[in-house]
Amino acid sequence: MKTAIYPGSFDPVTYGHLDIIERSSKLFDRLVIGVLLNVQKVPMFTLEERVEMIKKETAHLPNVEVKDFSGLTVDFARENGAGFMVRGLRAVTDFEYELQLSHTNRELAPDVDTVFLTTGLKYGYISSSVTKEIAYFGGDITKFVPPAVEERIKEKLADGGKKSEQN
């Protein structure tokens, strides 16, 4: 049984992430998506919200599980009995960072290998942060995220607006 993890912030999940999830779910017997509590980033969505959105969008994939985690990614891999960690590559800019990360992780855990999938061509320009920025300025994000996620982003922005009006 080959298990892989796919770790990330997923704040929120985009069509780019979902493409990687669909494709890697076919490569491995079991895929555990790890939603990271990243103390260095202030997220738009809570961990629970991010997990819930991914669960909804991957409900049709029986070998995919979604969990949250904090701490080292290699520990999350081991806890889940995973020998592989999937990462997506969009552009050369991703490559440098991802290469360093994979070397570091292999140093920490030689038993966990990083597997890179290049992005689907039509998703190469998509990132969670650009999606949020476009939504913030009222732009169309239908090509970036599924309808349910778009709805959640709009709700967050409306809530944020209400909060700052009160302040």
**Known catalytic membership, residue 162:** no
Kindly write out the interface string for residues 42-61 of this chain, putting x where it contacts ligand ADP by CB under 6 A and - elsewhere.
Answer: --------------------
Alpha carbon distance 6, 20 (integer Å): 9
Closer to ligand ADP by CB, 75 or 94: give it: 94
Whether residue 41 contacts residue 12, with contact meaning beta carbons closer than 8 Å, is answered with: no
DSSP-assigned beta bridge partners for residue 89:
118
Q: Does 12 help bind ligand ADP (rule: CB under 6 A)? A: no
> Which token pair is 63?
């070998």
Cis peptide before 7 (omega within 30 of 0): no
For 66, phi and psi rounded to 5 degrees? Answer: -125, 125
Q: Contact region for ligand ADP (CB under 6 A) — 14-22, 43-51, 57-65, 76-84?
A: 14-22
What angle in degrees, to the nearest 10, is found between the helix axes of 47-57 and 147-166?
Answer: 160
Please say if 128 is a catalytic residue: yes
Q: Is 102 a catalytic residue?
A: no
- Letters for 127-166 (x = contact with ligand ADP by CB under 6 A, - = none) are xx--------------------------------------
- Please give the structure tokens belonging to residue 133: 């920025």
Tell which residue, 134, 36, 151, 44, has the closest CA to residue 85.
36
Q: Which is nearer to ligand ADP, 38 or 63 (CB)?
A: 38
Residue 37 vs 157, nearer CB to ligand ADP: 37
Which residues of this chain interact with ligand ADP, rule CB under 6 A? 8-10, 14, 16-17, 20, 87-88, 90, 94, 119, 123, 126-128
